[in-house]
Structure 1
Amino acid sequence: MGLIQAAVGAIGGTLADQWKDFYTVPDGLPPTAALFAAVPRGTNAGRGANTKGSSNIITNGSRIVVPEGYGLLLFQDGAITGFASEPGAYEWKSDDLNSLSIFTGGGLMDALVRQSWERFKFGGQPGAQQAAYFVSLKELPDNRFGTQSEIYWDDGYLNAQVGAITRGSYTLKIVDPILFVKNFVPATYLQPGQVFDFTDLDNAAASQLFNEVVGSLAPAFSLYTNDPAKGNRITRIQQDSVGFAQSLSAVVENAYQWKSDRGLVIAKTAIVSIEYDASTRELLKTVQRADALSGARGNSNLQASVAAGIQSAGQNAGVGGLMGMGIATGGLGGLAGLQQPVAAPAPAAPAADDPIAKLTKAKQMLDAGLITQADYDAVKAKALGL
């Protein structure tokens, strides 16, 4: 009975596999799909008879259409035999016996008898495995990251350790599909009907990438904020999606070899939020006050501060002068105090450790050309404890 079933299956499968197939992308793919098998279109608008071909055999002459933004990987018995990155229609050609077809010049003897006998040896199944897979060459969105507690890094501009909780997302790009499939994609996804998706919570390989990104955030923040080309400003990260992505990609490449071993890079990032710890918030406030005393805006602020100080001093001096003349004691008897000379009160010396006084004096000396900008920056850093 088994031999009869094998013979019937071998002949029936051979006949079905003589038809040319038309392969394309499956329906209902999510936008985050990275790798999936090409599927034959057995019917179109209710027409078509090629519905019983083997799932692991591609007949010679079959056509595979590659859409924009995708690459085509060809497999023969588990090995990658070809790759096409340009969109368009491609024709399958193989020397494997199972791919021969009477419609492509295989002849009745080669295409039917030899294939049927070969498949009979394997219980009616074709003794080969051929497959075509599409791999996305686009930026794959919605890969999220986030930290449960503060991460810390050394910040060059603040000259201190900075801590923050951060959340955001990044886009991935497959830059070497062959490396990606050979070194990273589990064999589970190299089967018909399977879709490799980086955002799939059940995808253990994708979860590994998430953990590696979270572990790379602190050194990536440090690399970005200590790069003079990026202005050494922590507050610029949220507006520089490409710049921070380059820092993050460089860190994960250095630690985990994403590009060289897996064919992956981080293309762009979007930081949704950065929640600094209390110490960092105080440091940022101090830096903002220091920035207000520098440049053209600093001159305006300094002039306003001096004017307010003069007005306040004048008001205090007037009250003190009246009290010195004895008017506040009541009656005209206080006028006798006018006959005695009254010494003018000595101006109060600014406190030696007052940072505002130090910065104000240094700013005046800078504007007068007595010191350089570097000298002023040194005084500012010392006065603010940076």
Structure 2
Amino acid sequence: MGILSAAFDSIGGVLADQWKDIITAGPFDEHVVVAPGIRKDSQNGRGANYGAEDILSNGSLIFVPENTAAFVFSQAGIEQVITTPGGFEYRDGEATVFDGWDRADKGIGRILLDQAASRIEFSGMSPDEKRVAFVNLREIRGLKFGTRGPLAYNDLFYGTDLEVYAYGSLSLRVTNPERFVRNFVPANVSSYSLDDPKARGQLLSEFLNSFIAAVNSLSANYRVSQLPSQTNALAATMTAESENAGTWPERFGIQLTSIAVENIEFSEDSRELVRQFSEKKMGVRAYEDVSQQAANVAAQQMIAEGVRDNGLGDGGGMLFGMNLASALNPQNASIPAHAATGTNLDNQIETVKKLKELLDAGVLTKAEFDTKKKEILGL
């Protein structure tokens, strides 16, 4: 009874698998890298192709979408790779009575009998196995990452190592689909998504190692707050290294495309360190401003006392210029506001010297000279 059952199963399977197949790609979402081939078995209520999923007949059509690569797998592994978009006729499958070349080569009877005989040996199953899968060649975007622990960043502005956490996203692209399937995708898998933590776990670990090294290489030139604007430099540094993410093209056939740093946070200790640094810097700046003002007042007082006690001397007249003399109104001896209120000590001295010359020339009276001198020196 087992042989008869196998014979009936063989004949039924041969007849069911005579139909040519139309294979299309399964649905891709943003992070799917491998999608199974889907066999169309109906269209608008018509169609009745209910043969085996892992059998391809000669003359079957494989439709390859844009930016995808179609892989035909047999029991021996990768049989064929199609990277050009469009429809392709498959010629390495089982013979079928619906294919003109097969009928001309073997005839209908020979096709059916040979297949039935080979299946009986395997209890009604076909010894052939063919599967189709599609690899996504588009840029796979929005893969989130975050440093698991604090990252030490030597910020030269603060002059110390700061502990920071970095968060963002990365994108990558399959550049060599055959290498990707052979070296990265697990065996006998026709559906693979980087949403699965197991699928991207190794990639993220190696990415973070490269990211940390790249970030520290920028610390000599950029403050930690400037890192989000240096994503291109980070990506270039990471892809150029000889370890981790830099080895992906040769190992896995994938390339790191871009990085987006969305947020950088200080650890609690580093946040307190930055706060203390800012407070001290503000205190030093306020002290310097007060000290400078006090020094200016003291200098002005010393100059006023020196002029009061000693005058300007005869040599002061050599420093007068026609431009300033013409800027003074001889009628009321008014002085331009920018000269009288200038904060530059040298300018104050020059102005007083020129006023002294006007006093000696009889243009100003002694009382007018004394009044203007006090205004200039702030006495």
Q: TM class by shorter-chain length? A: 0.5 to 0.7
Give the number of the structure whose alpha-carbon radius of gyration is greater. 2
Among 55, 58, 62, the residue aligned to 1:57? 55
**How big is the shift at 1:255?**
6.7
CA distance in 1, matches of 2:297, 2:179: 78
- The residue aligned with 2:237 is 247
| Cα pair distance change 1:234/1:318, threshold 3 Å | closer
| Cα pair distance change 1:224/1:188, threshold 3 Å | farther
| SS of 1:266 mapped into structure 2 | strand
**Contact 1:100–1:110 (8 Å) recurs in 2:** no
CA distance in 2, matches of 1:9, 1:83: 33
- The residue aligned with 1:85 is 83
CA distance in 2, matches of 1:117, 1:321: 120
Counterpart mapping for 1:290-301 below 5 A: none
| Cα pair distance change 1:130/1:234, threshold 3 Å | same
Letter in 2 for 1:148: R
- The residue aligned with 1:294 is none
**How big is the shift at 1:235?**
4.3
CA distance in 2, matches of 1:74, 1:224: 45
Q: How much identity, in percent, do the aligned residues show?
A: 28
- The residue aligned with 2:212 is 218
| SS of 2:29 mapped into structure 1 | coil
**Contact 1:152–1:161 (8 Å) recurs in 2:** yes
Q: In the TM superposition, what whole-angstrom CA distance separates every residue of 1:169-228 from its partner, at most 9, and x where no partner exists?
A: 1012111111111111112523xxxx2001223xx23222222222332112123446xx
CA distance in 1, matches of 2:212, 2:263: 15
- The residue aligned with 2:3 is 3
**How big is the shift at 1:132?**
1.4
- The residue aligned with 1:206 is 200
**Contact 1:212–1:252 (8 Å) recurs in 2:** no
Letter in 2 for 1:196: Y
- The residue aligned with 2:169 is 169
Mean alpha-carbon deviation: is it higher for 111-120 or for 207-216? 207-216
CA distance in 1, matches of 2:309, 2:186: 98
> Is 1:13 aligned to 2:13, yes or no?
yes
**How big is the shift at 1:48?**
0.8
**Contact 1:61–1:91 (8 Å) recurs in 2:** yes
| Cα pair distance change 1:141/1:110, threshold 3 Å | farther
Q: TM-score, normalised by structure 2?
A: 0.67
Counterpart mapping for 1:51-200 below 5 A: 52-94=50-92, 99-104=94-99, 105-107=101-103, 108-153=108-153, 161-190=161-190, 195-200=191-196
**Contact 1:252–1:258 (8 Å) recurs in 2:** no
| SS of 2:263 mapped into structure 1 | strand
| Cα pair distance change 1:245/1:199, threshold 3 Å | farther
- The residue aligned with 2:34 is 35
CA distance in 2, matches of 1:159, 1:176: 44
CA distance in 1, matches of 2:227, 2:29: 30
**Contact 1:142–1:199 (8 Å) recurs in 2:** no
**Contact 1:17–1:53 (8 Å) recurs in 2:** yes
CA distance in 1, matches of 2:76, 2:224: 48
Letter in 1 for 2:66: E
- The residue aligned with 1:268 is 258
Counterpart mapping for 1:292-371 below 5 A: 313-315=295-297
Q: TM-score, normalised by structure 1?
A: 0.66
**How big is the shift at 1:240?**
3.8
CA distance in 2, matches of 1:243, 1:314: 48
| SS of 2:152 mapped into structure 1 | strand
**Contact 2:238–2:246 (8 Å) recurs in 1:** no
**Contact 2:140–2:172 (8 Å) recurs in 1:** yes
**Contact 2:153–2:224 (8 Å) recurs in 1:** no
Give the paired residue count: 293
| Cα pair distance change 1:102/1:157, threshold 3 Å | farther
Letter in 1 for 2:173: K
| Cα pair distance change 1:11/1:180, threshold 3 Å | same
Q: In the TM superposition, what whole-angstrom CA distance separates every residue of 1:220-266 from its partner, at most 9, and x where no partner exists?
A: 2123446xxxx656544312433322223334745773211111121
CA distance in 1, matches of 2:32, 2:26: 11
Q: In the TM superposition, what whole-angstrom CA distance separates every residue of 1:280-301 from its partner, at most 9, and x where no partner exists?
A: 9749x89xx9xxxxxxxxxxxx
Letter in 1 for 2:98: F
Which ranges in structure 2 are unaligned for 5 or more consecutive residues?
282-287, 311-379
| Cα pair distance change 1:16/1:83, threshold 3 Å | same
